Amino acid sequence: MHTVVVGTSGTTAEDVVAVARGGARVEVAEEALAAVGAARRVIDDLAAKPEPVYGVSTGFGALAVRHISPELRAQLQRNIVRSHAAGMGPRVEREVVRALMFLRLKTLASGHTGVRPVVVETMAALLNAGITPVVHEYGSLGCSGDLAPLSHCALALMGEGEAEGPDGGLRPAAELLAAHGIEPVELREKEGLALLNGTDGMLGMLVMACADLARLYTVADVTAALSLEALLGTDRVLAPELHAIRPHPGQAASADNMVRVLAGSGLTGHHQDDAPRVQDAYSIRCAPQVAGAGRDTLAHARLVADRELASAVDNPVVLADGRVESNGNFHGAPVAYVLDFLAVAAADLASIAERRTDRLLDKNRSHGLPPFLAGDPGVDSGLMIAQYTQAALVSELKRLAVPASVDSIPSSAMQEDHVSMGWSAARKLRTVVDNLTRVLAIELVAAARAVELREGLVPAPATRAVLAAVRRAGVEGPGGDRYLAPDLAAAEAFVRSGGLAEAVESVTGPLA
């Protein structure tokens, strides 16, 4: 099994996905354990002094004015975890919790948080044992960290609360730890706070969304190319010299993908005698511009994610010169903004895909295709309601594109008076990614059927590879009406699995 080694200097997006989704083992480097130990000695020295230090010998948030005596400090750290583990609602997905735990481990291993090595080692042990704490949907405002979600993870580290075992069953965390020979952690000064104070949940979801959207932008270029082909559109608008004079890199990449998918097509731009067109509709002609803008948004989001992955987010932090300083680095604004940006771009990508589908189904705009691509129009409804489903998804995506990060609700007696709502932005982005997958799957179903209805015309070799693969995946071709939901589900699974990209790239080579 793949092993991810955690050092003092951050991690990569690929490592996050490997641990969260691939179950990769985690190993903490010796140099990281040494740095953790050195930072802990600084905290121990401060704890022995009479002066109050936030998170070490004081309360938290608006209660930071109280100095906590040494005999109550262990209780203080336990209490912050227990009281902050106040999430509600449905359970968060296993991959999200694993990403959250791994990213908190990454920061703990940086040597800037002041926890003991045993805390770091125990967190790694939980990940490697496949123990996933129960984390709930609601509880984070995206400032002072993803507090409630991280608290539920810290609770399991203490041997409290519930967790999911490697077999998927829910059991008390204490039982799972005992079954895997893991000793619960008795928290000491600063450690409860250090386990809670990070952007790890929203960051983990951002990293995974970026991976998913990178795949979906390639899918969107393919489905747009198939729709252009099915509508007998022109590929001249994809010429590289046209995109070079508006040098957005994402636009050029999308146009190039479409050119490569359409290479060798017998449908594009040569069969318009019945209804000559000077220009194709925007949803066809501007496909690279819209998808390309989304690609550039994704590139910016990845830049922000990489910076955050290189960060050590906690408050207070132990600096290299031994100072322990309070700060505001836990604020989730940088992550929240790009989570919202991605939702906007994805919603618009879905919107233009739906417009292409609608055009394929409308006999007045499809240039010779049967109404709704039906076998016997009137007796058959064809893909009429598939487009309704697609439209409903797009409408939902537009609502989900409303940014969470512009909202803020004060908390902690106005001490935390401006929050990022980054966790909320991340949660809705996950729904956006799922719905975009479905929208593109429906365009694929419609475009594939439409190409096949162009009898006597030979589609591009890449298109033929897609048609063969999508039929093998369980999506039936043209014909009379049938129970349609299984076809759509099969198309969604085909897109989600990477099967569409694999089929195309067997002809074109790797696409952007």
3, 24 Cβ separation under 8 angstroms: yes
From the list 313, 280, 393, 413, the residue with the least C-alpha distance to 347 is: 393
From the list 411, 432, 413, 414, the residue with the least C-alpha distance to 142 is: 411
397, 473 Cβ separation under 8 angstroms: no
Helices (H) and strands (E) in the chain, counts: 19, 9
Q: How far apart are the first and last CA of the chain?
A: 29
242, 279 Cβ separation under 8 angstroms: no
Backbone phi, psi, residue 510, to 5°: -60, 135
Burial class (CB in 10 A: 0-12, 13-18, 19+), 306: middle
CB-side exposure of 268: number of CA atoms within 13 Å? Answer: 24
**Angle separating helix axes 13-20 and 200-230, nearest 10 degrees:** 90
Rounded to 5°, the CA angle 242-244-246 comes to 85
| 54 annotated active-site | yes
* Residue 452: partners with Cβ closer than 8 Å, 6 or more residues away: 467, 477, 478
Q: Which two tokens stand for residue 322?
A: 């031994």
From the list 97, 512, 500, the residue with the least C-alpha distance to 298 is: 512
78, 3 Cβ separation under 8 angstroms: no
Q: Which two tokens stand for residue 150?
A: 């991280």
Q: Cα–Cα distance between 481 and 400 in angstroms, integer?
A: 33
Radius of gyration of the chain from its Cα atoms, rounded to whole angstroms: 26
477, 452 Cβ separation under 8 angstroms: yes
Backbone phi, psi, residue 5, to 5°: -95, 125
* Residue 290: partners with Cβ closer than 8 Å, 6 or more residues away: 348, 349, 352
Residue with tokens 């050029």: 252
437, 216 Cβ separation under 8 angstroms: yes
CA 215 to chain centroid: 11
Positions marked active-site: 54
